[in-house]
Amino acid sequence: MAIRVTVWNEYIHEVEDPNVGRIYPKGIHGCIADFLTEAGFDVKTATLNMPEHGLTEDVLNNTDVLIWWGHIAHDKVSDEVVERVHQHVLDGMGLIVLHSGHASKIFRKVCGTRSSHLKWREAAEKEILWVIDPTHPIVDGLPDEKIIIPHEEMYGERFNIPTPDELVFISWFQGGEVFRSGVTYRRDKGKVFYFRPGHEAFPIYHMPIIQKVLINAVNWAAPGNIVNCQPGNPDPIVPFTIEDDGFDFKPVTHDH
Protein backbone atom coordinates (compact mmCIF):
# COMPACT_ATOMS: atom_id res chain seq x y z
CA MET A 1 0.00 0.00 0.00
CA ALA A 2 1.28 3.47 -0.87
CA ILE A 3 2.48 5.73 1.93
CA ARG A 4 -0.31 8.18 2.80
CA VAL A 5 0.88 11.78 2.95
CA THR A 6 -0.99 14.91 4.01
CA VAL A 7 0.60 18.21 2.97
CA TRP A 8 -0.46 21.09 5.24
CA ASN A 9 0.03 24.73 4.29
CA GLU A 10 -1.27 28.05 5.59
CA TYR A 11 -2.04 29.04 1.97
CA ILE A 12 -1.95 32.76 2.69
CA HIS A 13 1.07 34.12 0.80
CA GLU A 14 -0.04 32.54 -2.48
CA VAL A 15 -3.46 34.22 -2.22
CA GLU A 16 -2.36 37.63 -0.96
CA ASP A 17 0.94 38.13 -2.83
CA PRO A 18 0.77 37.97 -6.66
CA ASN A 19 4.50 37.25 -6.91
CA VAL A 20 4.17 34.17 -4.69
CA GLY A 21 1.01 33.18 -6.56
CA ARG A 22 2.95 33.18 -9.84
CA ILE A 23 5.63 30.90 -8.37
CA TYR A 24 3.09 28.54 -6.79
CA PRO A 25 -0.19 28.85 -8.70
CA LYS A 26 -1.55 25.74 -6.94
CA GLY A 27 -0.15 26.86 -3.61
CA ILE A 28 2.99 25.50 -1.99
CA HIS A 29 0.94 22.52 -0.84
CA GLY A 30 -0.22 21.88 -4.40
CA CYS A 31 3.33 21.97 -5.75
CA ILE A 32 4.58 19.51 -3.13
CA ALA A 33 1.53 17.28 -3.56
CA ASP A 34 2.11 17.08 -7.31
CA PHE A 35 5.67 15.77 -7.18
CA LEU A 36 4.92 13.44 -4.27
CA THR A 37 1.96 12.00 -6.18
CA GLU A 38 4.19 11.50 -9.22
CA ALA A 39 6.62 9.63 -6.95
CA GLY A 40 3.87 7.15 -6.08
CA PHE A 41 2.57 8.38 -2.74
CA ASP A 42 -1.11 8.70 -1.81
CA VAL A 43 -1.31 12.45 -1.21
CA LYS A 44 -3.94 14.78 0.21
CA THR A 45 -3.68 18.46 1.15
CA ALA A 46 -5.04 20.57 3.99
CA THR A 47 -4.94 24.31 4.70
CA LEU A 48 -5.42 26.67 7.60
CA ASN A 49 -8.91 27.92 6.70
CA MET A 50 -10.48 24.46 6.39
CA PRO A 51 -12.60 23.22 9.32
CA GLU A 52 -10.20 22.05 12.03
CA HIS A 53 -7.45 23.25 9.63
CA GLY A 54 -8.14 20.15 7.57
CA LEU A 55 -6.52 17.98 10.25
CA THR A 56 -9.47 16.12 11.68
CA GLU A 57 -9.08 12.90 13.61
CA ASP A 58 -10.19 10.99 10.53
CA VAL A 59 -7.60 12.70 8.31
CA LEU A 60 -4.77 12.03 10.77
CA ASN A 61 -5.88 8.42 11.24
CA ASN A 62 -5.31 8.02 7.51
CA THR A 63 -1.98 9.87 7.38
CA ASP A 64 1.40 8.13 7.58
CA VAL A 65 3.44 11.32 7.12
CA LEU A 66 2.34 14.92 7.69
CA ILE A 67 4.25 17.72 5.92
CA TRP A 68 3.90 21.17 7.53
CA TRP A 69 4.55 24.57 5.91
CA GLY A 70 3.75 27.63 8.01
CA HIS A 71 5.00 31.20 8.25
CA ILE A 72 2.74 34.12 9.18
CA ALA A 73 -0.21 32.46 10.93
CA HIS A 74 1.33 30.21 13.58
CA ASP A 75 -0.87 31.84 16.23
CA LYS A 76 -3.99 31.07 14.20
CA VAL A 77 -3.50 27.32 14.52
CA SER A 78 -5.78 25.83 17.17
CA ASP A 79 -4.08 24.42 20.27
CA GLU A 80 -6.55 21.53 20.12
CA VAL A 81 -5.40 20.61 16.61
CA VAL A 82 -1.74 20.93 17.64
CA GLU A 83 -2.32 18.54 20.53
CA ARG A 84 -4.09 16.13 18.18
CA VAL A 85 -1.19 16.19 15.72
CA HIS A 86 1.32 15.74 18.54
CA GLN A 87 -0.46 12.65 19.83
CA HIS A 88 -0.43 11.13 16.36
CA VAL A 89 3.32 11.79 16.11
CA LEU A 90 3.86 10.03 19.43
CA ASP A 91 1.80 7.13 18.10
CA GLY A 92 3.99 6.79 15.01
CA MET A 93 2.94 9.32 12.36
CA GLY A 94 5.93 10.93 10.64
CA LEU A 95 6.25 14.72 10.68
CA ILE A 96 8.24 16.82 8.19
CA VAL A 97 8.46 20.51 9.10
CA LEU A 98 9.52 22.94 6.37
CA HIS A 99 11.18 26.37 6.34
CA SER A 100 9.40 28.81 8.71
CA GLY A 101 7.64 25.91 10.38
CA HIS A 102 10.51 26.13 12.88
CA ALA A 103 8.26 28.62 14.71
CA SER A 104 5.07 26.59 14.43
CA LYS A 105 3.27 25.42 17.53
CA ILE A 106 3.75 21.78 16.60
CA PHE A 107 7.53 22.07 16.12
CA ARG A 108 7.92 24.06 19.34
CA LYS A 109 5.98 21.32 21.12
CA VAL A 110 8.11 18.59 19.59
CA CYS A 111 11.32 20.44 20.51
CA GLY A 112 10.28 21.67 23.94
CA THR A 113 12.25 24.88 23.27
CA ARG A 114 11.67 28.32 21.78
CA SER A 115 12.65 27.01 18.37
CA SER A 116 11.55 30.29 16.78
CA HIS A 117 14.76 31.91 18.06
CA LEU A 118 17.31 32.23 15.25
CA LYS A 119 18.87 34.83 12.94
CA TRP A 120 17.23 35.63 9.59
CA ARG A 121 17.69 37.98 6.67
CA GLU A 122 15.66 38.33 3.45
CA ALA A 123 18.38 39.20 0.94
CA ALA A 124 18.15 36.54 -1.79
CA GLU A 125 21.54 35.12 -0.86
CA LYS A 126 23.31 32.16 -2.38
CA GLU A 127 23.14 29.08 -0.16
CA ILE A 128 25.24 25.94 -0.12
CA LEU A 129 23.45 23.12 1.64
CA TRP A 130 26.10 20.60 2.70
CA VAL A 131 25.43 16.91 3.34
CA ILE A 132 26.76 16.07 6.81
CA ASP A 133 25.68 12.41 6.99
CA PRO A 134 26.23 10.75 3.59
CA THR A 135 24.87 7.45 4.90
CA HIS A 136 21.46 8.82 5.88
CA PRO A 137 18.43 7.59 3.87
CA ILE A 138 17.25 11.19 3.42
CA VAL A 139 20.26 11.91 1.16
CA ASP A 140 20.10 8.62 -0.73
CA GLY A 141 20.64 9.13 -4.44
CA LEU A 142 21.77 12.76 -4.28
CA PRO A 143 24.38 13.34 -7.00
CA ASP A 144 26.75 15.44 -4.90
CA GLU A 145 27.71 16.28 -1.32
CA LYS A 146 26.09 19.68 -1.62
CA ILE A 147 22.99 21.40 -2.95
CA ILE A 148 23.45 24.93 -4.31
CA ILE A 149 20.42 27.21 -4.06
CA PRO A 150 20.97 30.42 -6.06
CA HIS A 151 18.68 32.67 -4.00
CA GLU A 152 17.23 32.00 -0.57
CA GLU A 153 16.31 33.66 2.72
CA MET A 154 19.12 33.40 5.26
CA TYR A 155 18.62 31.57 8.55
CA GLY A 156 21.58 31.71 10.94
CA GLU A 157 22.72 30.15 14.19
CA ARG A 158 22.14 29.99 17.03
CA PHE A 159 19.06 27.88 16.26
CA ASN A 160 17.37 27.25 19.60
CA ILE A 161 16.58 23.55 19.23
CA PRO A 162 17.59 20.55 21.31
CA THR A 163 20.61 18.64 20.09
CA PRO A 164 19.32 16.69 17.06
CA ASP A 165 19.28 12.92 16.98
CA GLU A 166 20.89 13.27 13.55
CA LEU A 167 22.37 16.22 11.70
CA VAL A 168 21.77 15.62 7.98
CA PHE A 169 22.41 19.05 6.40
CA ILE A 170 24.15 22.26 7.36
CA SER A 171 23.91 25.47 5.32
CA TRP A 172 26.39 28.21 4.48
CA PHE A 173 25.01 31.53 3.28
CA GLN A 174 26.65 34.22 1.17
CA GLY A 175 26.58 36.66 4.06
CA GLY A 176 28.68 34.30 6.18
CA GLU A 177 26.16 32.62 8.48
CA VAL A 178 25.71 28.87 8.92
CA PHE A 179 22.61 26.95 9.96
CA ARG A 180 21.56 23.40 10.86
CA SER A 181 19.15 23.03 7.95
CA GLY A 182 18.30 19.34 8.15
CA VAL A 183 17.83 17.67 11.53
CA THR A 184 15.94 14.64 12.78
CA TYR A 185 14.29 13.67 16.05
CA ARG A 186 12.49 10.62 17.32
CA ARG A 187 9.56 11.29 19.60
CA ASP A 188 8.14 8.11 21.12
CA LYS A 189 7.12 6.06 18.03
CA GLY A 190 7.25 8.97 15.56
CA LYS A 191 10.07 10.33 13.39
CA VAL A 192 10.48 14.08 12.78
CA PHE A 193 12.53 15.85 10.09
CA TYR A 194 13.04 19.61 9.95
CA PHE A 195 14.18 20.88 6.53
CA ARG A 196 14.85 24.61 6.25
CA PRO A 197 14.83 25.51 2.49
CA GLY A 198 11.56 26.83 1.04
CA HIS A 199 11.00 30.55 1.41
CA GLU A 200 7.81 31.42 -0.48
CA ALA A 201 9.42 34.11 -2.68
CA PHE A 202 11.76 31.62 -4.38
CA PRO A 203 10.90 28.52 -6.47
CA ILE A 204 12.70 26.13 -4.11
CA TYR A 205 10.14 23.32 -4.27
CA HIS A 206 10.37 23.28 -8.07
CA MET A 207 14.03 22.19 -7.81
CA PRO A 208 14.29 18.45 -8.62
CA ILE A 209 17.05 17.92 -6.06
CA ILE A 210 14.94 19.46 -3.27
CA GLN A 211 12.04 17.28 -4.40
CA LYS A 212 14.35 14.26 -4.12
CA VAL A 213 15.19 15.15 -0.52
CA LEU A 214 11.50 15.41 0.38
CA ILE A 215 10.65 12.14 -1.36
CA ASN A 216 13.43 10.45 0.61
CA ALA A 217 12.23 12.13 3.80
CA VAL A 218 8.70 10.79 3.36
CA ASN A 219 10.03 7.26 2.93
CA TRP A 220 12.24 7.68 6.01
CA ALA A 221 9.54 9.22 8.24
CA ALA A 222 6.78 6.75 7.39
CA PRO A 223 5.99 4.33 10.20
CA GLY A 224 7.32 0.82 9.72
CA ASN A 225 6.54 -2.28 11.75
CA ILE A 226 6.39 -0.77 15.22
CA VAL A 227 6.90 -3.26 18.04
CA ASN A 228 4.09 -2.87 20.56
CA CYS A 229 5.92 -2.42 23.88
CA GLN A 230 3.29 -2.29 26.60
CA PRO A 231 4.05 -0.32 29.78
CA GLY A 232 2.74 -1.43 33.14
CA ASN A 233 3.39 -4.07 35.79
CA PRO A 234 3.65 -7.41 33.96
CA ASP A 235 4.04 -10.91 35.30
CA PRO A 236 7.57 -12.30 34.87
CA ILE A 237 8.32 -13.87 31.51
CA VAL A 238 10.36 -16.62 33.15
CA PRO A 239 8.80 -18.05 36.34
CA PHE A 240 11.03 -17.83 39.40
CA THR A 241 10.87 -18.23 43.16
CA ILE A 242 12.57 -16.23 45.89
CA GLU A 243 14.72 -18.49 48.04
CA ASP A 244 14.08 -18.41 51.78
CA ASP A 245 17.16 -16.74 53.23
CA GLY A 246 15.51 -15.53 56.39
CA PHE A 247 14.66 -12.15 54.90
CA ASP A 248 11.01 -11.32 55.29
CA PHE A 249 10.24 -9.95 51.79
CA LYS A 250 6.89 -8.38 51.16
CA PRO A 251 6.51 -6.78 47.77
CA VAL A 252 5.22 -3.24 47.76
CA THR A 253 2.35 -2.58 45.38
CA HIS A 254 1.35 0.76 43.96
CA ASP A 255 -1.88 1.91 42.45
CA HIS A 256 -1.41 3.86 39.23
Range 4-115+180-221: architecture per CATH: 3-Layer(aba) Sandwich (3.40)
In this predicted structure, what is the pLDDT of residue 251? 65
- Using CA atoms, how far apart are residues 6 and 149, in angstroms rounded to an integer? 26
Write down the pLDDT at residue 231. 86
Confidence band for 9, pLDDT divided at 50, 70 and 90: very high
* Mean pLDDT, residues 170-195: 97
**Contacts of 96 by beta carbon, 8 Å cutoff, 6+ apart:** 65, 66, 67, 68, 192, 193, 194, 195, 214, 217, 218, 221
Q: Rounded mean pLDDT of the chain?
A: 94
pLDDT digits (tens, 9 = 90+) for 30-63: 999 999 999 999 999 999 999 999 999 999 999 9
244: which DSSP letter? -
| Torsion angle in degrees (nearest 10) through CA of 55, 61, 67, 70 | 20
pLDDT score of 118: 94
Q: What are the strands, taking DSSP E only, across 41-145? A: 42-47, 65-69, 94-98, 119-131
pLDDT in tens, 64-94: 999 999 999 999 999 999 999 999 999 999 9
Cα 214 from chain centroid (whole Å): 10
pLDDT at residue 227, rounded to an integer: 79
Single-letter amino acid code for the residue at 117: H
Residue 234 has pLDDT above 70, yes or no: yes
